[in-house]
Amino acid sequence: MEGRALRDRAEEFAAAGCVVLGASFDTVEENRHFAADQHFPFRLLSDVDRVVGAAYDVVRVPGDQYAAFARRYSFLINPDGLIARIYDVADVKGHADEVLADLEQLRRAP
């Protein structure tokens, strides 16, 4: 899962000035237990009402066999609060590398 890859590279994300946040449709308590179980050094946000998920277009259509889960996307938000990149996370192992490379590009941008 991409959360573990981000966890394992947490120091690199911190050094890049990046704040990592996760989000799911699970309850606060479920996220708390999951984050503890996975040893995540970042927060997991609870979106049980799916309001944020709908705004980011990650809610699956009704009837989808995985409708209880958000679609696997990551969003790189720049210091101005604008979405700099949207990732359709298919390569879980390479995701952290890709984000770190994009963070470096953002840092170097004029």
Whole-angstrom distance between the N-terminal and C-terminal Cα of the chain?
Answer: 34
According to the model, what pLDDT value does residue 99 have? 94
Q: Which domains does the chain have, with CATH numbers?
A: 2-103 (3.40.30.10)
Q: Can you tell me the mean pLDDT for 26-45?
A: 96
2 Cβ contact partners less than 8 Å away, ≥ 6 residues apart: 72, 74, 89, 92, 95, 96
Tens of pLDDT, residue by residue over 70-98, are 999 999 999 899 999 999 998 888 999 99
Tens of pLDDT, residue by residue over 39-70, are 999 999 999 999 999 999 999 999 999 999 99
pTM (2 decimals)? 0.87
